[in-house]
Structure 1
Amino acid sequence: MLNDWINPSLPAPLCWGLAVVGVLLVVASLTIALLKRRKPQKNWLELEQRVRTWYWIVGIFALTLLGSKALALTVFALVSFLAFKEFLTLSATREADHVVLFWAYMSIPFQYFWLGVNWYGMFIIFIPVYAFLILPMRMVLIGETRGFLRAASSLHWALMLTVFSLSHLPALLILPEVSNRAPVGHGASLLFFLVALTQSNDVAQYLWGKATGRRKIAPTVSPNKTVGGFLGGAATTTLLACLIGPWLTPMSLLHCALAGLLIGVSGFIGDVVISAVKRDIGVKDSGTLLPGHGGILDRLDSLTYTAPLFFHYVRYLYF
């Protein structure tokens, strides 16, 4: 029974990668403690909350990687549920659509079930074909036409970002099971590679933007995003992909570099797209679930773009 939830074999580079992330968190905690002693007059609460939340995020993510496919699918299905719920609280939903929302929520377990049974064909078309066609039909049967287009569009976009896109994260875990070109365990390594680079890209773009950023790249959407931050972040992510990719993935050095560039560019796009959604709604953060970070969408914004693009990139080349 325990073997159904624990992965008995993981690649050594992945274990080392998780250990490095743990060390970085400890260093961050020690740095904050030192800063508080040297500059006690400043308020370090938000930074403390951010690092403390990272401990929880990394801990849950590590357990997901260490666990079996069943555990991973359960965790990511819960993440999609929370992200979908958060998106719906911000978007235009109608009171008349409560039955439709029930069926929209039901698409989450179905989407992850297709992964569980390795039915790739249904996984890839279930939401963008069947769910997208069935849900508006159910809305029509209610008989309420006022606000129909906005409500249907919001529901479709919520499913696309929070369920379809994010479900490509655990989809990486099934790749070794359908491939003769990658050893067992590389699915977890690919997932770690994607998440580590996506989050590193966010940090790198922020640091490069502070250091060299002058020209705003999307001032009306995200005023803090600069051309220097975007280019520096993409370059840093590409370099990092070349350094860790050959250890964690079956990709060649060239393909690692292209993957890093893909993640750097698409991560930026995902970030500004969610920023546009929040600006349209008129909120700074998507929620308060993650202290120091905001809502779950604030932490997953880049992954909504990098996950599906990286999955299909790797699948096309190696699987």
Structure 2
Amino acid sequence: MLDLTPNTLCAMLVVVAMLVIASVTQLLLRSRLSADGYLELKQRINSWWVMVGVVFTALMIGPTASLIFFTILSFIALREFFSILPVRVTDRRLILALYLAVPLQYYWVGMGWYGMFIVFIPVYLFLLIPFGLLMLGETKGFIRAVGSYQWATMTTVFAISHVAYLLMLPAEENPAGGGVGLVIYLVFLTQFNDVAQYIWGKKFGNRKIVPAISPNKTWAGFLGGVATTTLFGALLAPWLTPLPWWLGLGAGLLIGLAGFIGDLTVSAVKRDLRIKDTSQLIPGHGGILDRIDSLMYTAPLFFHFLVYTTY
């Protein structure tokens, strides 16, 4: 099993307590919400219980279970991405081959082979994808296909694998939280940033940022959410990470900004493809990509911020 420090156990209990409060609030709001509004809220909270339960179980079982979990997560996300892309018939064989990149990338993570982990997809796979498409002999739509497949593997596999690699960093460098503490810090702040921006936007948002892409994104929601996430980043950093509070401010700010960009980027993808959600896999939330859109941007940025400031 992974070594869970008192701080990480306490953080898990805090998250569970927040879900309990959300569930109780949901019951209290039943008479004030419409039937559809209450059903959506209930589905979202129930889905959060399942997602938190799965993540925490994997983290508590140990590193192997955690790696398997993130491997499956990337696989489902990559499959979901390919399911919404306008894929050429001739490319199906290449897409099947690209799924092999998922276990390979997490194999490098499990080995702790940082050199291969950091270059396998953005260097080797980036060169192999256009070569593979050339071998299929179809030139129409070639540039779009190359860019789509490269970006799909970068976001769903390469970016998300940075979360798993946090568990491989030397535990002695973070006695407060260990690898699990780093994962909880990143994932909690990323998801908290989404919620904070939503609440600030609902309460004070009037001026839209990019209404053509995401009508619900407002300047008040963006600034309020980033400020709140930055504050919590500073408060939680000494508790779960090796970062002092002032570097925690930087980490929180980075997560707030990157989370907003990731969310907005996937919204643009859905607008382009004229879909509301990437799938219906998670009741009340949509698909895997709808849930990890912010994490695809915050994970690699936080990882390298942490490595270059601490390890």
Q: Number of residue pairs matched?
A: 310
Q: Would the aligned equivalents of 1:234 and 1:265 in 2 still touch at CA under 8 Å?
A: yes
Pairs within 5 Å for 1:197-216: 197-216=189-208
- Aligned-partner residue type, residue 220 of structure 2: G
1:119 aligns with 2:113: yes
Q: Would the aligned equivalents of 2:87 and 2:145 in 1 still touch at CA under 8 Å?
A: yes
- Aligned-partner residue type, residue 31 of structure 1: T
Q: Name the CA shift for 1:287/1:41 in 2 (closer, same or farther; >3 Å).
A: closer
Distance 2:166 2:289 in 1: 21
Paired residue secondary structure (2:123) = helix
- Aligned-partner residue type, residue 48 of structure 2: W
Q: CA deviation at 1:11?
A: 1.0
Pairs within 5 Å for 1:85-96: 85-96=79-90
Q: CA deviation at 1:68?
A: 1.6
Alignment match, 2:95: 101
Q: CA RMSD in A?
A: 1.3
Q: Would the aligned equivalents of 1:176 and 1:184 in 2 still touch at CA under 8 Å?
A: no
Q: CA deviation at 1:166?
A: 0.6
1:12 aligns with 2:43: no
Q: Would the aligned equivalents of 1:103 and 1:135 in 2 still touch at CA under 8 Å?
A: no
Any runs of at least 4 consecutive aligned residues in structure 1 with deviations exceeding 2 A, and if so which? 38-43, 180-185
Q: CA deviation at 1:41?
A: 5.4
Pairs within 5 Å for 1:122-133: 122-133=116-127
Alignment match, 1:3: none
Paired residue secondary structure (1:167) = helix
Distance 2:297 2:99 in 1: 21
Distance 1:120 1:97 in 2: 31
Percent identity of equivalent pairs? 49
Distance 1:53 1:81 in 2: 20
The alignment's TM-score, normalised by the length of structure 2, stands at 0.97
1:166 aligns with 2:160: yes
Gaps of 5+ in 2: none
Superposed CA deviations along residues 276-319 of structure 1, whole A, max 9, x for unmatched, are 11100000111100000000111000001000000000000111
Distance 2:274 2:148 in 1: 15
Q: CA deviation at 1:185?
A: 5.2
Superposed CA deviations along residues 196-235 of structure 1, whole A, max 9, x for unmatched, are 0000000000011111111111111111001111100000
Distance 1:72 1:40 in 2: 38
Paired residue secondary structure (1:315) = helix
The alignment's TM-score, normalised by the length of structure 1, stands at 0.94
- Aligned-partner residue type, residue 88 of structure 2: R
Distance 1:235 1:201 in 2: 9
1:176 aligns with 2:170: yes
Alignment match, 2:262: 270
Distance 2:70 2:19 in 1: 23
Pairs within 5 Å for 1:28-43: 28-36=22-30, 38-39=31-32, 42-43=35-36
